[in-house]
Amino acid sequence: METFRGAYRRSLDRGARAAIEEILAVRKGERVIIITNPERERREISMALYGAAIARGAETTLMFQREKGQFDFADEAVIKAFGSAPDVVISISSDRLGKDKFGLQHGYKGTKRRYDHVFDTLYEEGKMRAFWSPGITLDMFSRTVAIDYRVLRSDAARICRIMSSSEKVRVTAPGGTDVVIGTKGRRCRADDGNFTKPGLAGNVPSGEVFVSPVVGTMNGTIAFDGSIVLNVGEIVIKRPILARVKDGLVTDIAGGAEADKLRESVLEGEAKARKMGRSGQIKAALAEKYAKNAWSIGELGIGLNRKAKIVANMLEDEKVYGTCHFAVGSNYDGDAEAMIHLDGLVRFPTITAIGKDGRETQFMTRGRLAWD
């Protein structure tokens, strides 16, 4: 038993050191805030991160709030803590950090865009670095965080170079996916575990690149056949969910009981936006936009973490090498925001970037990168 406990402790501490030292490069004297929930696994991970940050000489604060869901607000004390100008913020949550009530009502004006959450404002405007881990478990943290970041960062950089010079991307897969999305002018973002400078942030475990489709450009059919996030929980898909997309919006969801659950989640996201508009929590015009965008496709992501596996937890599932995912709902460029962001996995995709001149670069074939 002591041997097991020792190995468990070492793997947890190894992951914490990788997160603090390799991913965030925390330095002596920096202000670090860790926000978490009291639940045991999240608490143990947060305590390990706290210890690793203290060992680096950082001024570290650990905050607890109750678990938050898709539509819940973060505690006011948590939102106010961001006003203390931390260098680093880490969110270790059972589900979500929580929405920003003030941000949804009034917004934050930035140099890049309008923000509805102070957390997004701080890292996108280059005032802090951060990572967030919604739903992370001890097993996941131990397996997928202490990895070879040189390989991950190389893969991510190569894909982003290809996608950044494209105007369109086509995704096909054996399960029935066949879609084309517009990418001209869109930023390809690398969640590659390099959050060492202000303005850099992403998930831990890391391991994906992602892009928000140009609004109104996506057409075709997505066959979700891996796992998918719902407003409450996540399911491994047994019967593929077919989502037909026209001009960037989902027009039909078919497939069976699992498809019904996704449709219900999207309808709930749409209704929630309108309800908040009627109650004055957000402006009526903005509420209607959020309602419409519940049906949009806000993300194409490509998994690159070779230690990740499908476990019915999208924090890990979306990083699985050999998969891609699409999100129903809010995007990352701020021009199609919604109350929901529901990621769904597609197995063994073939992904082709199409340039302005029509030249095609197929960089993933049935889930395998071209340079592997």
Question: According to the model, what pLDDT value does residue 1 have?
Answer: 46
323 vs 318: CA distance, rounded Å: 7
- What totals of helices (H) and strands (E) does the chain contain, helices first? 10, 22
Output the six-digit token pair for 293.
Answer: 């965008």
How remote is the C-alpha of 278 from its chain's centroid? 29
Q: In what order do the strands lie in the sheet with 201-203?
A: 59-64, 31-36, 88-93, 129-134, 201-203
Rg (CA), the chain: 20
Q: What is the DSSP letter of 254?
A: E
- The pLDDT of residue 3: 58
Please say whether the beta carbons of 193 and 23 come within 8 A. yes
Q: Which two tokens stand for residue 30?
A: 């920096």
Rounded CA separation 221/212 (Å): 17
| Cα distance between residue 206 and residue 63, in whole Å | 23
Per DSSP, the residues of 36-89 read E-SSHHHHHHHHHHHHHHHHTT-EEEEEE---B-TTPBPPHHHHHHGGG--SEE
What stretches of the chain show up as alpha helix (H) in DSSP? 2-17, 40-55, 76-81, 101-106, 118-124, 138-144, 149-164, 257-279, 284-293, 314-317
Per-residue confidence (pLDDT) for residue 10, from 0 to 100: 86
Whole-angstrom distance, CA of residue 123 vs CA of residue 36:
19
- Which tokens belong to 139? 């097993």
| Residues 173 and 259 sit within 8 Å (Cβ to Cβ) | no
Q: Nearest-CA neighbor of 74 among 134, 137, 136, 138? A: 134
Q: Among all chains, which residue has been given the structure tokens 């959450």?
A: 117
User: Any idea which residue has 């865009």 for tokens?
Assistant: 113
Which structural domains are found in the chain, ordered by start?
2-140 (3.40.1830.10), 148-369 (no CATH)
Q: Please report the pLDDT score of residue 6 as a whole number.
A: 67
N residues, the chain? 372
CA distance 247 to 339: 20
Contact 224, 243 (CB under 8 A): yes
Tens-digit pLDDT profile for the chain (372 aa)? 445 566 667 889 999 999 999 999 999 999 999 999 999 999 999 999 999 999 999 999 999 999 998 889 999 999 999 989 999 999 999 989 999 999 999 999 999 889 999 999 999 999 999 999 999 999 999 999 999 999 999 999 999 999 999 999 999 999 999 999 999 999 999 999 999 999 999 999 999 999 999 999 999 999 999 999 999 889 999 999 999 999 999 999 999 999 999 999 999 999 999 999 999 988 899 999 999 999 999 999 999 999 999 999 999 999 999 999 999 999 999 999 999 999 999 999 999 999 999 999 999 999 999 999
- Residues 331, 212: contact at Cβ < 8 Å? yes
Helices (H), ranges, 115-148: 118-124, 138-144
